[in-house]
Structure 1
Amino acid sequence: MLKKIFLGMGVLGLCFVLGSGQGLADEIVLVNGNILTGAIEKLEGGKLTLKTDYSQPVEIEIAKIKKITTNRPIDLYLVSGEALKGKIATVEGGKIAVETTPGQPSRTVELTKVAGMVTPPKVPPKWRGNIALGASMQTGNTERKGASVGAEAIWKSEADRFTGRFLWNYAEDKDDITARNAYGLLKYDHFFSKQVYGYLALEAYNDEFKNWRLRYVVGPGVGYQFWDDEVKFLLFEGGLAYSYEDLYEGQNKDYLAARLAADFRYKFGKYLSVGDQLVIYPSLEYGGEYTLRNEAYILSPVGAGWNLKLSNIWDRNSEPPPGIEKDDFLWILALQYAF
């Protein structure tokens, strides 16, 4: 007798569990009349993913869905950026009713205005960067003035990253030009994992005071991304490069070099950021020769996307042409706008 009682209780418990599971299942009714049940995993790119117990996750185009019903609260993310949470049910006119608070009137939204369900929608990649303007003027015993324009733009998706940088600098003293140079970088990165990537980089220089009409360095390599978030950024790169120097005076020069690079940024709270970008090209054909460029900076926000930026740029050529110094140091105080 006791055995029968326990057996009966087990059967009732099993029925309760199965009944509860079915009651909590999300239900999707298609325009062709088919009914699917399971758990909504996500809504992304115009497709809803439904996890079921009887097959692999099913992707359903929103246009083919007639009705959605859930007996559990789920997260909804609207295209406006607003987030809602509650049980949902399709009502007339292609809209869904969201019961955000039990016993209160439901919130009605158009299904086409829903960007994501359960998980937040992926934010499409977009360009970000900055433009910096610097200027200086000194009058009296010395008539000196200078200007600089710099820019950086970066586009990044899960697998790819494009980087562009530019800097133009000019200075004169009593109408005599004392500095006029330009620097540019174009780089493409393809990520094989979240941290390892391959790259192709092109850097170009123009500086008549270094006897460079045009110097460009191009080549592939690999990199490792240690950090990449709103607070910290760190990567190291290594590869090969072909260097060509078109000189104002003397014989042009080309050679094969290695490329070693690092990029570091760190944000201290809301009011101070520091960074350093280093690249070294050791020659593989002329032993002991190398060129180096290092840009270190301090950044402090002043409001509305504007920042005050103090930079120090160190350029070094271990074997410059006769009459040219090995090292150049440039200080720039600029107003920078970030976008």
Structure 2
Amino acid sequence: MYSRFLLCLTVMGACSPAVADTVWMKNGDRLSGKIKVFDGGKLVLQTEYGGSIALDWKKVKTLESDQELLVKQDAYSGERARSLHAGEPGQVILANGEAPKAVELASIQQIMKPKPVVEDLIWKGNVDLALDYKRAESDSDDYDVDFKTTARHGRWRHSAEGEYNRESKNETTTTNNWSAEYALDRFITEQWFWQGRLEYKRDHVEDLARQRTVGTGPGYQFWDDELGAFSLGSLLNRTDYEYADGGKENFYSVGMKWDYNRYLIGKTVELFSNGELGRPLSGVADYSLDAEVGLRYKVTEWASLNLKAEKDIISGTADSDLSKTRYTAGFGVAW
């Protein structure tokens, strides 16, 4: 008898519908799914019938969720809610045991799953890989691996990126270089931030063998939400060049750095571009440009195909100019 009772409970549990979050819109629509995040004026709802849907927060009437969520009414602190209950139009109720709390939707800036250590941590990034093997009268190998990741909590944002390129033709290496960069941003307001960054480049083939750059300066975040981001930064840099023949140069420069991405077609396609345009304060070089532009097509929630074009220019150096253009196609992962 007892075993039959347990079997009935198991069958009832398996047959019962999964608990879903619910969002009521001001136009009368009612949407069910799982709330992923609210940021930048967009509430992202994961649905079985339409994938991830970005809802305009101003059009939301109220919502409910059985998830434990972190609700932030400013950019730097938040309150854990064990669950959210539907409230009056324009409100949501934060359920925390014996003291539920009604909150105006217009006062909420972010909603997210709390992280185990840093509750308001937002971490995203991608790794892209491109390979090209050719075996014919002329053999060639081409490798390109790069990554980019950002993590933000409160007023701080950490950014790291790196890249490795290698090309060979008939067992002769024609390209062999790598680079790494780390930047730390401190937000002064919601848009203005101050950045410090370190960058190192190593080239085993070109005359310009090493580049080291330390820079700092203000920046402005135009937008950063679930549909993309765009920021500009102005930097005062100290750069050291080291050439393959042992020659060295160092100089100060000013630079303009940009970082842009935009999701299209229901977040299945991403257009991105980032780079830096710099000009030395002395006569060491005329200008430098390090930029890339590309597209990513999301195949699954984590896998993507990508096309990229990269341009690297250093014009007017004492020893020799550098100008390289590179096109790649490959696959990657994102989170």
Conserved in 2, the CA contact under 8 Å of 1:75 and 1:118?
A: no
Corresponding residue of 1:289: 286
Corresponding residue of 2:238: 242
User: More deviation in 250-259 or 287-296?
Assistant: 287-296
Conserved in 1, the CA contact under 8 Å of 2:251 and 2:284?
A: no
**TM (normalized to structure 1)?**
0.65
2:176 partner amino acid: R
Corresponding residue of 1:298: 295
Output the CA distance in 2 between the equivalents of 1:147 and 1:74. 48
Corresponding residue of 2:316: 319
Tell me how large the CA RMSD over aligned residues is: 2.9
Output the CA distance in 2 between the equivalents of 1:74 and 1:295. 41
Output the CA distance in 1 between the equivalents of 2:280 and 2:201. 17
Corresponding residue of 1:28: none
**Alignment gaps of 5+ in structure 2:** 1-61, 70-80, 88-92, 115-119
Output the CA distance in 2 between the equivalents of 1:297 and 1:75. 38
Change (3 A) 1:245 1:86: closer
1:310 partner amino acid: L
Corresponding residue of 2:205: 209
Conserved in 2, the CA contact under 8 Å of 1:76 and 1:118?
A: no
Q: Please show how residues 1-339 of structure 1 align to structure 2 within 5 Å.
A: 78-79=67-68, 83-85=83-85, 111=97, 117-119=101-103, 123=114, 124-270=120-266, 271-286=268-283, 289-320=286-317, 322=319, 324=320, 326-339=322-335
Pairwise CA distance, 1:280? 1.6
Change (3 A) 1:246 1:325: closer
Pairwise CA distance, 1:246? 2.0
Output the CA distance in 2 between the equivalents of 1:147 and 1:288. 30
Corresponding residue of 1:59: none
Conserved in 2, the CA contact under 8 Å of 1:309 and 1:336?
A: yes
Change (3 A) 1:184 1:78: same
2:192 partner amino acid: V
**TM (normalized to structure 2)?**
0.66
Alignment length (residue pairs)? 244
Change (3 A) 1:225 1:211: same
Change (3 A) 1:300 1:74: closer
Change (3 A) 1:326 1:84: closer
Conserved in 2, the CA contact under 8 Å of 1:289 and 1:319?
A: yes
2:227 partner amino acid: V
Pairwise CA distance, 1:199? 0.4
Pairwise CA distance, 1:152? 1.1
Output the CA distance in 2 between the equivalents of 1:83 and 1:317. 55
Output the CA distance in 2 between the equivalents of 1:138 and 1:152. 28
2:68 partner amino acid: V
**Alignment gaps of 5+ in structure 1:** 1-72, 88-99, 101-108
Conserved in 1, the CA contact under 8 Å of 2:242 and 2:249?
A: yes
Q: Secondary structure at the match of 2:205?
A: helix
Deviations 1:1-28 (A, max 9, x none): xxxxxxxxxxxxxxxxxxxxxxxxxxxx
Q: Secondary structure at the match of 2:154?
A: coil
Conserved in 2, the CA contact under 8 Å of 1:74 and 1:118?
A: no
Change (3 A) 1:126 1:225: closer
Pairwise CA distance, 1:201? 1.1
Pairwise CA distance, 1:338? 0.5
Deviations 1:34-63 (A, max 9, x none): xxxxxxxxxxxxxxxxxxxxxxxxxxxxxx
User: Over alpha carbons, which structure has the higher Rg?
Assistant: 1
1:247 partner amino acid: Y
